[in-house]
Amino acid sequence: MTANTMLQEMISILIPTKNRSDFLTRTLLYYVKVNFKGRIYIGDSSNDEHTEKNKHTIEILKDKLKIIYRYFPSPPYMHEGMCVKDLTEIADTPYAVYSGDDDFLIPAGLEKCIDFLENHPDYNAAHGFRINFSLENDDAYSKIISGYIIPGHKLECCVAVERWRTYIQEAFSTQYYVHRTDTWRRMYRDIDSIPIRYFGPEFVPCSLSAIAGKIMQLDCLTAVFQKRHDDTGNWQQLNFYSLITNPEWHSSYKTIKKSITEALVQQDGISNEKADEIFDREFWFHLAFYLYSQYHVKYKASNMPLEEQNKNILYSVLLNPSFRFYSDFRQVYLSVSVPMEINNIYK
C-alpha cells in the first residue's frame, strides 16, 4: 500500500443528491478514472426513476469504488444539509469533506490536506484552491465555456470571533475543505432544526467550521465546482427576502443564533451577552449585504453583480499545460466534455 493510498483511505466524501442521476454517474466515473481510494457516502433523496438509476450505477461500480449508499426520502429530509448530517453519523474515517453531485474533488489535493492535518493537530481544517467552471448548458456533459480560481479562506487567527468575522465578510463555503470528522459532526449537529435553505445546509455549518479552529490554505487544487444556472441550492439563486419571510424563519433563526453563540462562548471564553452582541452585528451585516445586492439585481436598480468573479481564465491559464494544476483540472475537463459509457470502464 502506497503512502498516497493510505492518506486517501482516511477520508470520506459526502455527496447528497436529488434527481440528478446523470451528474452522480459522471462524478463516480471521474473517481474511478482518478483511482480514488477513499470512501464515498451518497445520500439519495431522488424519485423512483433516478433512485433506480443511481443504484444501478453503484452496483456496476461496487468493485471499483468504496461506496456507501443511503436513501433519504424528502420529506422528511428537507434539504441536503439534513442528508449530510446523517451521512456524517455513519462515516468511519478520521476526515470528511463535502461534494455536490456535480462537483469534483482532487485526490492529490485531499492527500496534502490530510497530511497537513495529521502533522498539525492545532488546525481544524485545510484546503487548497478551488476552480469554478460553467458549461454551455446545464446538462451533465457539455463544452466548458468559462473558468476561474477562488483562493478560499486562510483562517489562522487564534480568536474564533475574528475567524467567523472573516468568513462572514467573504462567505465562500468551507464545506469543500477537509475537516476532522468530529468537527464535521458538530458543524451539522443542529441542522434538523433549521429547515430554511442556505442557512441550514451552508451558513451554519460553515460558520461553525470557522469558529471551531484554525483553517490552513495550502498550495494545491482541492475542488472543481460547477456553476449551474438551475442550481437552486446556490445562494445566488435564492431570494434572501423569501427566506427570512418563510413561516419557519423565526424558529430557524433562534437555532442559528443559539448554535453560533454557544460555539463562540466555548471557543473564546466570552460571555453570553458579548456573544449575542457579536452575532447580531455580524449576522445583520450578512443579511443586509445580500438583501441589498439581490434587491438591486432583481429590480435592476444598479449594475451591482451578485458575485465578483475573476476574469475568465479557462484558455489562458486553466487549459495551459504550464498551469501547475493542469493535469488535475484536465481530468475534470475530460470528464464533463466527453460522456463515458459506464459499461466501458472494465475494457
For the chain, list the strands marked E by DSSP.
11-17, 39-44, 66-71, 95-98, 104-105, 123-135, 144-150, 178-180, 214-226
Q: Which contacts (CB < 8 Å, 24+ apart) does range 303-309 have? A: 306/236, 307/236, 309/132, 309/148
Rounded (10°) CA dihedral 155, 158, 160, 161: -90
Residue scoring higher pLDDT (255 or 344): 255
Interatomic CA distance for residues 143 and 344, integer angstroms: 22
Helix axes 160-169, 204-212, angle to 10 degrees: 140
pLDDT of residue 253: 98
| Residue 264 near residue 279, CB atoms below 8 Å | yes
Count of structural domains, the chain: 1
Write b or e for each residue in 13-38: b if 16 or more Cβ atoms lie within 10 A of its Cβ, otherwise e: bbbbbbbbbbbbbbbbbbbeebebbb
Three cell numbers, residue 129: 484552491
Residue 131's DSSP bridge partners are 149, 224
The fraction of the chain above a pLDDT of 70, given in percent, is 92
H/E element, 112: helix 107-119
Q: Is the dihedral of CA 48, 341, 65, 143 positive or negative?
A: negative
Structural domain contains residue 345: no
The total of other beta-carbon atoms located within 10 Å of residue 161's CB is 19
Higher pLDDT, 239 or 190: 190
Domain annotation covers residue 305: yes
Give the model confidence (pLDDT) of 209-223 as tens digits.
999 999 999 999 999
Q: What b/e sequence results for 229-246 when a residue is b if at least 16 CB atoms lie within 10 Å of its CB, and e otherwise?
A: eeeebbbeebebeebeee
- Residue 44's domain is classified under what CATH number? 3.90.550.10
The mean pLDDT of the chain is 92
pLDDT in tens, 78-87: 999 999 999 9
Band of pLDDT at residue 235, cut at 50, 70 and 90: very low
Average pLDDT over every residue of 179-188: 97
Is 117 a member of any domain? yes
| Res. 1: pLDDT tops 80 | no
Out of 135-149, 219-233, 264-278, 305-319, pick the least confident. Answer: 305-319
In a domain, 130, yes or no: yes
Given a contact cutoff of 8 angstroms between Cβ atoms, the answer to whether 162 and 214 are in contact is no
Whether pLDDT at 232 is above 80: no
- Which residues, at least 6 apart from 88, have a Cβ–Cβ distance to it below 8 Å? 14, 96, 181, 184, 185, 188
Q: What is the mean pLDDT of residues 91-103?
A: 97
Q: What is the pLDDT of residues 314-343, one digit of tens each?
A: 889 999 999 999 999 999 999 999 786 665
How many Å apart are CA 247 and CA 253, to the nearest integer?
11
Q: How many CB atoms lie within 10 A of CB 166?
A: 17
DSSP 8-state code for residue 21: H
Cα 20 to chain center, whole Å?
Answer: 17
Query: Residues 22-28: what's their mean pLDDT?
Result: 97
- Domain residues for the domain of 135 are 3-339
More confident residue, 307 or 149: 149
Asked if 42 contacts 56 with a C-beta cutoff of 8 angstroms, the reply is: no
In a domain, residue 344? The reply is no
Residue 304: which pLDDT band, with cuts at 50, 70 and 90?
Answer: very low
CA pair distance 175, 213, nearest whole angstrom: 14
pLDDT (mean) for 1-21 = 92
Which of residues 306 and 39 earns the better pLDDT score?
A: 39
Residue 130 has pLDDT above 70, yes or no: yes
With cell 500500500, the residue in question is 1
